[in-house]
Structure 1
Amino acid sequence: MPAELRRDQNATPHRALGPGGAWAMAVGGMIGGGIFSTLGVVISVAGHWAWASFLLGGIVALASGHSYSALTRQINQSGGSYAYLREMGWTTAARLAVWVLVAGYTLTVSVYAVTFGAYAAFVFGAPHWVALLAGIAAIVGLAGINLLGAAEATVLEKIAVWGKLVILLCLAGFGLWHWAPERLALDAGMPIGFHDALIGMGVVFMAYEGFQLLSYDYEEMRDAPRTIAVAMPTAIIVTTVTYILVALGAGMLAGASAIVENKEVALAIAGRDALGAVGFIAVSIAATFSAGSAINATVFATARLAEQAAQDGEMPALFARRDKRNVPWFGTIVISAAAIVLVLVGGIEQLVEGGSLVFLLVFSLVNVLAILRKAGKRWIALVGLVGSGSAAILLVLHLAGVA
């Protein structure tokens, strides 16, 4: 679809996302599976430096978000890195990128579904097959909400985001009130230094996947240039602060070893240690709402990315089909179905690490494109490039057993 036509569509009155809705979509995409899925994983690598891993990841995400926002406003259309590559005439790279992106986002939907199922089953002491069934049910249900239309998906996102932020920040505050930094350390026989925080940043980076979904929702926004310029950085800042506080607070409540031992339901353990059954149930509810909102936001944006690629002839034409509710129904269904398959075959740690590597590479590419196109501030893009590139290298070394 020509850029001029997309700009005309952007001016039409049916745009469902204002700054508040866009901010909720970005926060939902990040916190949705982020802290619930990755806290135990990053503590197992970085120990008491886990909070620093989240801080470093937030800095890289904020710099990369600057590049995403600047590039999207410069070309004035949705599509993220796929659209940026096409705008530069690199069509072969764009074709490869869009398939990698759709695969990466489908992978993250499966991570969120695994998290949803794990917390839902843990509340009732149910076996593993119930967790799988609950995760699959979450994908199916939220795909259905997406098929109802953008407005319905946005309302759900706002409710879920504010609910989980309140519960997470209360949990973090309770942990910090009972200050016990010694509980952040792993076993004494496992010495951990600041360099492990750098590795942890790579391992945990999937927790920051989500803000860039706004670059695919651009044509769903009202006053899109202003909305994305405001919503993207504020969402990243709020998410980073929340991650740091929860890493510290939850670690002090439950202890690092307990969180690592219960990776998939770590925060529910912390909630139980904080407030007994009430805290356990509150955090479990927050986790299921949070993972659900991440599934919703990711499916919403990925279906629109696939739709745009199909309109450009880079993906099968069925992905460009919209139904009477103006929803790209085929992409929504296919992405959800593929995520269900991954839920059945993948483990949480492998899914998290695989997703982190995909997005570190994509963010490195976007920062390079921002420098080449002189979009935004060059030094900020350089920070994003150095950070994401270094984290990708460290993650590969970690996965190879070298670091």
Structure 2
Amino acid sequence: MNQQAATLYRPAKLPNLVRKKPDQGSKKTDSASGQGALGLAGAWAMGVGGMIGGGIFSTLGVVISVAGQWAWASFLLGGLIALATGHCMAALTVDGDRSGGIYRFLRMQGYDRAAHVSALVLLLGYTLTVAVYAYTFGSYLANVFNGPDWLPQAMGVVAIIVLAGLNLRGASDAAGVEIAIVVGKLVILAGLAVAGLWRFDAARLAVENPPGWFGAIVGAASVFMAYEGFELLSYDYDEMADRKTLIRRVMPLTIWTAIVVYIAIALAVPMLVDTSELIADGEVALAKAGQALMGMTGLLLVTAAAAMSTGSAINATLFSSARLAHEVAKEKELPSVFARENRFQSPYIGVLTLGGGAIVLTLLGGLTSLVTGASVVFLLVFGTVNVLAWREKVGNTLYAALGTVGAFIATALLLLHLANVI
């Protein structure tokens, strides 16, 4: 199943844009029932796989280091913003009745300049995301081999190169394969959650120098990239059966699934491994929990789940972002070279450029900085979704307002935190 990418623009620029006449001819006029084969299970797997594809494996140690015992609340707050955004994303998609995400919505509303900026910023965000997944992939595998300090980055680079090569051959995911991967990793994560919650002791959540409840808000902003992924469903819209009904059902369902999993893991893993160790070894926090629970078997199971999840996420993100660049280039908003395809119909310039950028970031950036940078981008992405829905009065305006305020307050707090102001 092909997955595409969502886009972003800077909301502060919107009032100053010269709004062109909307392209009314770009709206679909065919039946809303849809003729696609993607049903609820397949769509749910795409959304959940996009979020949990690398999210919890990458971010647990980061959020505990920021939020301490309030890590679970960070995932809840981030999830509420994502829920509001999912409602707005589904409403905008149904209103336009075509796939394409924010870039397409902005074009249809006549905000061409904002659409151009959105594509550039989101491509940066997806490059950061690939780097996060690659670093996490390498960290989990290097942990098994107990290799030198440079091994995580090296293995992450190898993963990008291999998966970029697959993309150059026109590789894509099948819905059935994605369902199997999602179910497999959820079973492993559920096992960790049940084992940890069975021996729950609130005292084990405590950290040295606890940050207080305010840490939950900063933590939610710091690891917001864990909720990136559900927006890809707006690009599968044309392939959904009964698409107008399905997308409104599956958006909140996928986000609630991620919220429940994230909160359960945030509460359970500290019952298996001391929080100090989770913070020190944040890149492989879940592997430590698996090893504490089942020894080498647990370590290998969690490592396998992390490798499958992050590898699939790297592949899907490269696939999506390269095709976003291809689409934008065809509309003359990026250099025409990005519209070129090889004999496998792969937009190879986009794959090579984005993969190369991700390799550089993997080599230069640590996990915390990569996660934080991606979180800033996707907070702006989701804030923009809500602004557009609010401005165009599409969907529930209360959800749009709450999502807008939540996303931009979180962005401001995160930037202040990065500047050591708070």
The reply to whether TM is greater than 0.5 is yes
With over 3 angstroms needed to count, the CA separation of the structure-2 counterparts of 1:242 and 1:351, relative to structure 1, is: same
Q: Does 1:177 align with 2:198?
A: yes
**Pick from 23, 47, 53: which aligns with 1:26?**
47
**C-alpha contact 1:28 1:297 (8 A) present in aligned 2:** no
With over 3 angstroms needed to count, the CA separation of the structure-2 counterparts of 1:330 and 1:219, relative to structure 1, is: farther
Could you report, residue by residue, the CA deviation over 1:145-202 in whole angstroms, capped at 9, with x for unpaired residues?
A: 4445565454443332221111011101100011122111101xx1332111011111
**C-alpha contact 1:184 1:256 (8 A) present in aligned 2:** yes
**Pick from 243, 255, 259: which aligns with 1:240?**
259
**C-alpha contact 1:46 1:199 (8 A) present in aligned 2:** yes
With over 3 angstroms needed to count, the CA separation of the structure-2 counterparts of 1:209 and 1:142, relative to structure 1, is: same
**TM-score, with normalisation over the residues of structure 1?**
0.91
What is the 5 A alignment of 1:97-136? 97-136=118-157
**C-alpha contact 2:207 2:275 (8 A) present in aligned 1:** yes
- How many residue pairs are counted as aligned between the two chains? 399
> CA offset at residue 69 of structure 1?
1.2
Instruction: Say which structure is richer in helix.
Output: 1
> CA offset at residue 84 of structure 1?
1.9
| Residue identity in the other structure for 1:122 | N
With over 3 angstroms needed to count, the CA separation of the structure-2 counterparts of 1:151 and 1:102, relative to structure 1, is: closer
| Unaligned stretches of 5+ residues in structure 1 | none
With over 3 angstroms needed to count, the CA separation of the structure-2 counterparts of 1:322 and 1:232, relative to structure 1, is: farther
With over 3 angstroms needed to count, the CA separation of the structure-2 counterparts of 1:7 and 1:316, relative to structure 1, is: farther
With over 3 angstroms needed to count, the CA separation of the structure-2 counterparts of 1:151 and 1:263, relative to structure 1, is: closer
| Residue identity in the other structure for 2:55 | G
Partner of 2:276: 257
With over 3 angstroms needed to count, the CA separation of the structure-2 counterparts of 1:14 and 1:73, relative to structure 1, is: closer
**C-alpha contact 1:108 1:355 (8 A) present in aligned 2:** yes
Q: Does 1:198 align with 2:205?
A: no
Could you report, residue by residue, the CA deviation over 1:232-260 in whole angstroms, capped at 9, with x for unpaired residues?
A: 22111101100000001112111211100
| Residue identity in the other structure for 2:63 | V
Partner of 2:330: 311
**C-alpha contact 1:145 1:153 (8 A) present in aligned 2:** no
**C-alpha contact 2:28 2:96 (8 A) present in aligned 1:** no
Q: Secondary structure at the match of 1:376?
A: coil
Partner of 2:389: 370
State which drifts further: 174-183 or 71-80.
71-80
| Residue identity in the other structure for 1:385 | T
**Pick from 382, 388, 392: which aligns with 2:401?**
382
With over 3 angstroms needed to count, the CA separation of the structure-2 counterparts of 1:269 and 1:85, relative to structure 1, is: same
> CA offset at residue 41 of structure 1?
0.7
Could you report, residue by residue, the CA deviation over 1:85-119 in whole angstroms, capped at 9, with x for unpaired residues?
A: 22221211111111000110111011000000000
Q: Secondary structure at the match of 1:127?
A: coil
> CA offset at residue 231 of structure 1?
2.8
Q: Does 1:225 align with 2:244?
A: yes
Counterpart-to-counterpart distance in 2, 1:116 and 1:185: 28
With over 3 angstroms needed to count, the CA separation of the structure-2 counterparts of 1:354 and 1:133, relative to structure 1, is: same
With over 3 angstroms needed to count, the CA separation of the structure-2 counterparts of 1:339 and 1:15, relative to structure 1, is: farther
| Unaligned stretches of 5+ residues in structure 2 | 1-22
Counterpart-to-counterpart distance in 1, 2:146 and 2:75: 31
**C-alpha contact 2:75 2:220 (8 A) present in aligned 1:** yes
**C-alpha contact 2:339 2:347 (8 A) present in aligned 1:** yes
With over 3 angstroms needed to count, the CA separation of the structure-2 counterparts of 1:222 and 1:329, relative to structure 1, is: farther
With over 3 angstroms needed to count, the CA separation of the structure-2 counterparts of 1:151 and 1:44, relative to structure 1, is: closer
Could you report, residue by residue, the CA deviation over 1:340-359 in whole angstroms, capped at 9, with x for unpaired residues?
A: 22111111100111111111
